[in-house]
């Protein structure tokens, strides 16, 4: 038995992208339904700290949207879909102002404009911020707008699969966690704003629910996943105490002047990227830290130092209040007096569901729109700090708008009862005697961290792929106790297949890309190879149910690498043509 | 080395299946600096995966995982497991109905919250880019850091009794924020008034559990009250009487100024000294014995203490609590000035209300005025430790007592140990603790102007506190605050309670002087 909920536009995910999509879709006078895995305002966006990039030029008038475009593409290893990047940089200023309309309170310059700070890999200070709680402020403002509009939402619903009729997505199947009831959402259009999958890694900044469900559910119904090998390891995660391992230490620490040092007290970034130092792009900093640790120059706990304590303590308190509290609470450490210890942590998936530029729809599935980290193409091989929040707003609004447009023109589809019964049967069948999902979950995360982490090679990846196959066999042995009402063990079992599909997509894509580009580093192919690999790597579900890999050409509009070879980060080998500065729209 | 384990008593209950809640005990290995959430995750992974609990971010940023740990609510990911703990009890958030185990139904909270229109309402869309000066957002920023964890609502003594009449700390925080946001056009102050802002007892329990450390009583409730007074909507009539009394008589008790010094007439205290007594209105006018006993104790210690006499005015904590800020400033500055002129290097107070005013509020308003503030219990504790104050057994002293922490001495001032240490040094006194004590102590109900304007609410809250007394088996309740003591006495009379005695610590010590 299940309950059916009908709506015009179904929004799966109540983070920054989902809420923004819902707001935009509701403007079309359509029914929307926001379905969230958590209580309102608790999604991962609230953990975003450093800021949102928009070339407002408030701090540096020489900044421009073209400069923002250039930084995004260059630091993305030219893997980005440049049409999406253009949309991002063009539209984000207005989306930032939208947030202010909703009630957000950004930090200000003395003359009352939005303040901006420098961030890694960016040529100008353009990251708009609210201390180090930017994501929290955004999710608050979005939640307030959702409340102001009184948009329908169902909280604590775990969506387990998308429903299709033919090649069209017609809604989703989920569980009301509070009652254990099965829910069938029937919708003309569906926006998938499910975030990323950092939890497939043992050490991650991501929250409980970031297990890659969105990628897996979209893949299952025929969507293409692109750039899945591009997993961003944020260079600075906490390493101590154990219970705080992986928790993000915002890039804003470095933006505000934080220095990275090894155990010898050396600012080691000078070895790797002397021109940008601590404010190098994330992939470069993460690999540099990794190299320091490999070379035995890490701290006894296995990290490097990040030191802001030389700055005035009231400035630190004002600009980084959350970091001050976080280290005081978790590590008994006063960052205004002592250096932090940090190491890389799995943070963001640049890859995701491949979308059509014109309407943010899945390239292959009708009625399925993507927003935020669930989508691919904006960030290329390396996401700039501050561009993820930007993506949630720009592409959240677009997904909502185009989903509404599609919903307006289409009739309400039926659902395939067979799919509903299959899914209910699958979920029911997990409630049985069997081996516990928790243990398998932890083995997956450990394996991914060991073999599919910052530095990869063919051997490791092959082994990882074999492991995935072995884990799949074990899946059939899984069983959980208890009932359907708020049963976390059941959810562990439910998301295991999603985790495995996400992992397989990462591994197969990583095996395919025999070069190093962006966050993807192959020690057996340490150089960038534009002759062979100036392409996007994609996966899709093959006719026999197997995962198929295929490549597609990278779309460029304004920027091309002028030389065709490069080192691992490779930036110095590219001549970047100066762009024409266009007036802002 | 054998690993140390801690016993976690975890609340288990499925209303659909179980007649009654029960507690399951799980052994969890201790890891350095572990959090309650680590223990719950350990239980989930190794003991029972069906235990229901919420968590998302594990970084104290989302407010999902709030539970009650040994009686105190807070995010499980923030609450540290004490190194020496042997057993820890984990329960769901109070006041919300249980869905299963540690997961509560938050609907009532959200429903109430949403009726307040907890979002910015503008007159029209602003021009882009909008110019907002930094000083205009400074005041709202602290409020906006709230992560909606609901710990404040769960601990609030007023919500506990009359949720329908009080929207709770989380809501007062939001209304205060919006009332200070220049962009907002709605009358938030009137809403706060209707939603029971004068029911807040300023007990600071909400602040003590707030993971974002937002000072809701002072920065939200009292600011809203001040705005209501500016708008002519407040204070409540009984408060007006007290305010008028303070304005004219310098005390809230309608007593002519001369009466304030009667207790000291025969004592011949100097009007200037390095150590000055701030006697306070209630001790001076209602409990003269108390303040006389303070002087006796000082003589016993062989120390000189001065007294302002007629120059002393109400500390004006009652004014600030109800929102009468301008008169508070005037009175407070006069007190500071008088103390400076008297050459005070330190001021000793006996009333917890005075203590908070001098120690916290005056400094908040006027900065550091360079005089040390001591509670009499701190002075006595030191003297006892140094052998300058000797206490003897008196016949009535074979008693079991419990100590009620006044909110404005404990949470406001951090004075928890001195009164307890003093009690322990009186021969024949056995001190037992209530289930909620120290920083998690429950409010007696009398603060924040509630005793004056809502006496029945005050004794209702007092009754809940008395149930905690009952659990201890103590026969005498000791405190350090005339307001608490009065309200506890009134609560005993208005409820079905034994004939407990309520005594001030000073009186008890005075009786035991050698």
User: Which of A325, A345, A365 delimits the end of a domain?
Assistant: A345
The pLDDT of B487-508, averaged and rounded, is 96
CA dihedral B388, B282, B504, B511 (to 10 degrees): 60
Give the sign of the dihedral formed by CA B31, CA B33, CA B36, CA B38. Answer: negative
Over pLDDT 70: what percentage of chain B?
100
- Domain total in chain A: 2
User: Which of B230, B246, B272 delimits the end of a domain?
Assistant: B230
**Interacting residues of A520 by C-beta distance below 8 A, sequence separation 6+:** A229, A230, A231, A381, A456, A510, A513
Residue A569 has pLDDT above 60, yes or no: no
Find the CB nearest A488 among B35, B49, B141: B49
**Tokens 């609450």 sit on residue:** B79
Q: What is the pLDDT of residue B394?
A: 85
Are B401 and B333 in the same domain?
Answer: no
Find the CB nearest B119 among A107, A147, A244: A147
User: Which of B42, B69, B104 delimits the end of a domain?
Assistant: B104
pLDDT tens-digit map of A246-282: 999 999 999 999 999 999 999 999 999 999 999 999 9
The pLDDT of B419-448, averaged and rounded, is 97
Q: What is the DSSP letter of B473?
A: T
Find the CB nearest A39 among B60, B106, B125: B106
The pLDDT of A199-206, averaged and rounded, is 97
The pLDDT of B49-53, averaged and rounded, is 97
Give dist(CA A247, CA A345) in Å, integer: 8
Are B375 and B241 in the same domain?
Answer: yes
Are B460 and B505 in the same domain?
Answer: yes
Q: State the nearest Cα–Cα gap between B291 and chain A, in angstroms.
A: 42
Q: Tell whether B34 is within 8 A of chain A (Cβ).
A: yes
Q: State the nearest Cα–Cα gap between A352 and chain B, in angstroms.
A: 22
Kindly state whether residue A113 falls inside one of the protein's structural domains: no
pLDDT tens-digit map of A325-349: 999 999 999 999 999 999 999 999 9
pTM of the model: 0.95
Q: Tell whether A137 is within 8 A of chain B (Cβ).
A: yes
Residue A579 has pLDDT above 80, yes or no: no
- pLDDT bracket for residue B397 (50, 70, 90): confident
For every residue of A380-411, DSSP letters joined together read TTSPPTTHHHHHHHHHHHHHHHHHHHHHHHSP
Residue contact A243–B34, C-beta within 8 A: yes
Residue B144 has pLDDT above 80, yes or no: yes
Kindly state whether residue A382 falls inside one of the protein's structural domains: no
For every residue of A503-567, DSSP letters joined together read HHHHHHHHHH--S-BTTB-BTTB-SB-HHHH-EEEEEEE-TTSPEEEEEEEPP-SS---SSS-B-
Are B377 and B407 in the same domain?
Answer: no
Say how many CA atoms lie within 13 Å of B379 toward its Cβ. 27
Residue A582 has pLDDT above 90, yes or no: no
- pLDDT bracket for residue A561 (50, 70, 90): confident
Between strands A127-128 and A116-117, the pairing is antiparallel
- Domain total in chain B: 4
The pLDDT of A36-63, averaged and rounded, is 95
Query: Domain limits at B310?
Result: 237-381
Q: For residue B411, what is the domain's CATH number?
A: 3.40.50
Q: What is the pLDDT of residue B326?
A: 97
Q: What is the pLDDT of residue A562?
A: 62
Give dist(CA A24, CA A400) in Å, integer: 5
Q: What is the set of active-site residues of A?
A: 234, 254
The three-class DSSP label of residue B479 is: strand
- Could you report how far apart the first and last alpha carbons of chain A are, in Å? 52
Give dist(CA A327, CA B59) in Å, integer: 10
pLDDT tens-digit map of A217-250: 999 999 999 999 999 999 999 999 988 999 999 9
Token output for B287? 């409990």
Task: Write out chain B residues lying below 8 Å of A324, CB-based.
Answer: none
Give dist(CA A403, CA A9) in Å, integer: 7
Residue contact B137–A108, C-beta within 8 A: yes
Are B280 and B372 in the same domain?
Answer: yes
Are A331 and A433 in the same domain?
Answer: no
Residue A502 and residue A509 in contact, taking contact as beta carbons nearer than 8 Å? no
Residue B149 has pLDDT above 60, yes or no: yes
Q: What is the pLDDT of residue B514?
A: 80
**Interacting residues of B93 by C-beta distance below 8 A, sequence separation 6+:** B66, B67, B68, B73, B104, B150, B151, B154
Task: Write out chain B residues lying below 8 Å of A489, CB-based.
Answer: 44, 49-50
Which stretch of A98-112, A567-581, B344-358, B415-429 has the lowest confidence by average pLDDT? Answer: A567-581
Strand order in the sheet with B476-479: B429-432, B399-403, B476-479, B501-504
Are B403 and B480 in the same domain?
Answer: yes
Query: Would you tell me how many other CB atoms lie within 10 Å of the CB of residue B514?
Result: 7
Residue A565 has pLDDT above 50, yes or no: no
Kindly state whether residue A199 falls inside one of the protein's structural domains: no
Interior angle at CA A474, CA A472 and CA A475, nearest 5: 65
Kindly state whether residue A391 falls inside one of the protein's structural domains: no
Are B372 and B457 in the same domain?
Answer: no
Residue contact B57–A47, C-beta within 8 A: yes
Phi/psi for B322 (5° steps) reads -95, -5
Between strands A340-349 and A231-238, the pairing is antiparallel
Interior angle at CA A155, CA A503 and CA A47, nearest 5: 60
User: Which of A292, A310, A345 delimits the end of a domain?
Assistant: A345
Token output for B403? 């100590």
Query: Domain limits at A469?
Result: 429-552
Are B449 and B361 in the same domain?
Answer: no
Residue A308 has pLDDT above 90, yes or no: yes
Q: Which of A497, A584, A541 is nearest to A212 (CA)?
A: A497
The answer for B 150-209 residues in CB contact with A (under 8 A) is 183
Give dist(CA B176, CA B198) in Å, integer: 14
Give dist(CA A367, CA A579) in Å, integer: 37
Residue B142 has pLDDT above 50, yes or no: yes
Q: What is the pLDDT of residue B78?
A: 95
Q: For residue A519, what is the domain's CATH number?
A: 1.20.58.100
Residue B309 backbone class (left: φ over 0; alpha: ψ -120 to 50; beta: rest): left
Q: What is the pLDDT of residue B2?
A: 60
Between strands B346-349 and B372-375, the pairing is parallel
Kindly state whether residue A576 falls inside one of the protein's structural domains: no
Q: Which stretches of B386-504 are DSSP H helices?
A: 417-424, 450-453, 455-472, 482-494
Are B145 and B157 in the same domain?
Answer: yes
The pLDDT of A157-172, averaged and rounded, is 98
Over pLDDT 90: what percentage of chain A?
94
Are B354 and B419 in the same domain?
Answer: no
Token output for B442? 């429950």
Residue A564 has pLDDT above 50, yes or no: no
Q: Which of A284, A372, A387, A531 is nearest to A73 (CA)?
A: A387
Nearest residue in chain B measured CA to CA from A246 = B59
User: Which of A345, A372, A400 delimits the end of a domain?
Assistant: A345
Are B260 and B151 in the same domain?
Answer: no
Q: Which of A346, A345, A370, A338 is nearest to A356 (CA)?
A: A370
Give exposure, A125-141, as e/b (b: 16+ Cβ within 10 Å): bbbbbbbbbbbbbbbbb
Radius of gyration of chain A (CA): 22
**Interacting residues of A399 by C-beta distance below 8 A, sequence separation 6+:** A17, A21, A24, A191, A193, A360, A369, A370, A371, A375
Q: What is the pLDDT of residue A574?
A: 38
Are B177 and B271 in the same domain?
Answer: no
Can you say how many angstroms the Cα of residue A260 is from the centroid of all Cα atoms in its chain? 25
User: Which of B65, B86, B104 delimits the end of a domain?
Assistant: B104
Q: For residue A298, what is the domain's CATH number?
A: 3.90.700.10
Are A545 and A438 in the same domain?
Answer: yes
Q: Tell whether B140 is within 8 A of chain A (Cβ).
A: yes
């Amino acid at each position: 038995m299940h309950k059916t909920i009908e709506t015009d536009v179904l929004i799966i995910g109540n983070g920054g992208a989902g809420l923004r999509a819902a707001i935009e879709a509701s403007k079309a006078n359509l029914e929307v339904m926001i379905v969230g895995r958590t209580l309102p305002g608790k999604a991962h966006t609230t953990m975003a700290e450093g800021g949102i990039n928009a070339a407002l030029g408030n701090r540096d008038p020489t900044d421009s949207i073209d400069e923002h475009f250039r930084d995004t593409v260059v630091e993305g290893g030219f893997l980005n879909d440049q049409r999406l990047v253009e949309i991002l940089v063009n539209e984000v200023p207005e989306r930032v102002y939208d947030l202010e309309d909703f009630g957000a309170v950004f930090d200000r310059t003395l003359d009352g404009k939005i303040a901006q700070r420098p961030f890694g890999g960016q040529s100008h200070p353009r990251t708009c911020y609210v201390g180090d709680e930017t994501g929290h402020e955004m999710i608050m403002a979005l939640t307030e707008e959702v409340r102001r509009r009184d948009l329908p939402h169902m909280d604590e619903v775990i969506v387990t699969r998308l429903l299709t009729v033919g090649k069209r997505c017609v809604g989703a199947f989920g569980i009301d966690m509070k009652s254990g009831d099965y829910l069938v959402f029937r919708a003309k259009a569906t926006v998938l704003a499910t975030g990323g999958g950092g939890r497939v890694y043992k050490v991650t900044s991501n929250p409980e629910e970031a297990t890659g469900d969105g990628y897996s559910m979209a893949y299952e119904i025929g969507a293409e996943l692109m750039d899945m090998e591009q997993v961003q390891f944020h260079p600075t995660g906490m390493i101590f105490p154990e219970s705080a391992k992986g928790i993000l230490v915002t890039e804003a620490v470095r933006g505000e002047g934080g220095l990275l040092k090894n155990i010898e007290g050396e600012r080691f970034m000078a070895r790797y990227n002397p021109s940008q130092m601590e404010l190098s792009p994330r992939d470069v900093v993460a690999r540099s830290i990794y190299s320091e640790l490999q070379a035995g120059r890490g701290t006894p706990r296995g990290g490097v130092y990040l030191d802001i304590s030389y700055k005035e303590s009231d400035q630190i308190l004002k600009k980084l209040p959350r970091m001050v509290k976080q280290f005081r609470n978790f590590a008994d450490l006063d960052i205004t007096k002592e250096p932090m210890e940090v190491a890389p942590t799995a943070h963001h998936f640049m890859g995701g569901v491949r979308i059509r530029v014109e309407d943010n729809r899945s390239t292959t599935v009708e009625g399925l729109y993507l927003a935020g980290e669930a989508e691919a193409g904006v960030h290329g091989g390396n996401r700039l700090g501050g561009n993820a929040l930007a993506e949630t707003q720009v592409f959240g609004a677009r997904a909502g708008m185009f989903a509404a447009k599609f919903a307006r023109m289409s009739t309400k589809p039926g659902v395939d009862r067979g799919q509903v019964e299959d899914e209910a049967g699958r979920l029911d069948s997990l409630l049985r005697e069997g081996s516990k999902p928790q243990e398998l979950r932890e083995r997956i995360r450990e394996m991914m961290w060991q073999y599919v982490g910052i530095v990869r090679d063919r051997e490791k990846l092959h082994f990882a792929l074999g492991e995935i196959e072995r884990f799949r066999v074990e899946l059939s042995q899984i069983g959980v106790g208890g009932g359907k009402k708020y049963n976390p063990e059941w959810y562990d079992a439910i998301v295991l297949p999603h985790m495995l599909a996400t992992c397989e997509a990462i591994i197969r894509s990583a095996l395919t890309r025999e070069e190093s580009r962006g966050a993807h580093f192959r020690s057996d192919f340490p150089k960038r190879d534009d002759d062979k690999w100036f392409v996007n790597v994609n996966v899709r579900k093959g006719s026999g149910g197997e995962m198929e890999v295929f490549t597609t050409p990278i779309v460029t509009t304004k920027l091309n690498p002028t030389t065709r070879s490069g080192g691992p980060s490779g930036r110095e080998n590219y001549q970047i043509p100066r762009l024409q500065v266009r007036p802002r729209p | 080395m054998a690993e140390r384990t801690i016993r976690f008593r975890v609340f288990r209950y499925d209303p659909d299946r179980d007649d009654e809640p029960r507690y399951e005990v799980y052994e969890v290995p201790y890891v350095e600096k572990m959090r309650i959430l680590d223990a719950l995750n350990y239980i989930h992974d190794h003991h029972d995966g069906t235990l229901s609990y919420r968590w998302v971010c594990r970084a104290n940023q989302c407010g999902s995982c709030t539970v009650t740990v040994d009686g105190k609510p807070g995010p499980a990911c923030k609450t540290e497991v004490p190194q020496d703990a042997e057993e820890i009890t984990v329960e769901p958030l109070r006041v919300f109905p249980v869905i299963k185990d540690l997961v509560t139904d938050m609907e009532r909270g959200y429903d109430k919250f949403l009726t307040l229109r907890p979002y910015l309402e503008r007159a029209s869309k602003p021009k882009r880019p909008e110019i907002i000066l930094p000083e205009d957002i400074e005041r709202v920023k602290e409020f906006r850091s709230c992560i909606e964890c609901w710990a404040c609502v769960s601990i609030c003594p007023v919500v506990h009794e009359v949720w329908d009449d009080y929207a709770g700390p989380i809501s007062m925080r939001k209304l205060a924020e919006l009332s200070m946001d220049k962009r907002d056009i709605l009358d938030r102050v009137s809403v706060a008034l209707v939603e029971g802002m004068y029911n807040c007892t300023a007990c600071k329990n909400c602040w003590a559990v707030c993971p974002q450390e937002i000072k809701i009583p002072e920065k939200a409730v009292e600011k809203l009250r001040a705005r209501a007074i500016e708008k002519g909507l407040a204070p409540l009539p009984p408060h007006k009487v007290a305010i008028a009394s303070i304005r004219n008589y310098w005390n809230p008790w309608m007593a002519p100024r001369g009466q304030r010094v009667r207790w000291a007439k025969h004592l011949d205290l100097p009007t200037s000294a390095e150590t000055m007594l701030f006697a306070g209105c209630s001790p001076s006018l209602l409990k003269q014995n108390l303040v006389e006993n303070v002087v006796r104790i000082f003589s016993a210690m062989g120390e000189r203490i001065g007294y302002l006499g007629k120059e002393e005015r109400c500390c004006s904590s009652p004014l600030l609590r109800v929102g009468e800020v301008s008169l508070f400033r005037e009175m407070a500055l006069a007190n500071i000035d008088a103390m400076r002129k008297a050459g005070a290097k330190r001021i000793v107070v006996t009333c917890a209300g005075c203590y908070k005013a001098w120690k916290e509020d005056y400094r908040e308003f006027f900065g550091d005025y360079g005089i040390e503030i001591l509670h009499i219990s701190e002075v006595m504790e030191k003297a006892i430790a140094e052998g300058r104050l000797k206490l003897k057994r008196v016949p009535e002293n074979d008693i079991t007592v419990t100590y009620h922490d006044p909110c404005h001495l404990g949470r406001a001032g951090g004075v928890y140990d001195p009164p307890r240490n003093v009690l322990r040094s009186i021969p024949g006194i056995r001190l037992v603790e209530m289930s909620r004590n120290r920083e998690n102590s429950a409010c007696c109900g009398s603060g924040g102007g509630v005793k004056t304007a809502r006496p029945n609410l005050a004794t209702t809250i007092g009754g809940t506190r008395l149930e905690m007394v009952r659990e201890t088996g103590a026969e005498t309740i000791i405190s350090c605050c005339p307001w608490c003591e009065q309200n506890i006495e009134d609560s005993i009379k208005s409820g079905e309670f034994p004939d407990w005695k309520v005594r001030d610590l000073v009186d008890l010590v005075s009786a035991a002087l050698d």
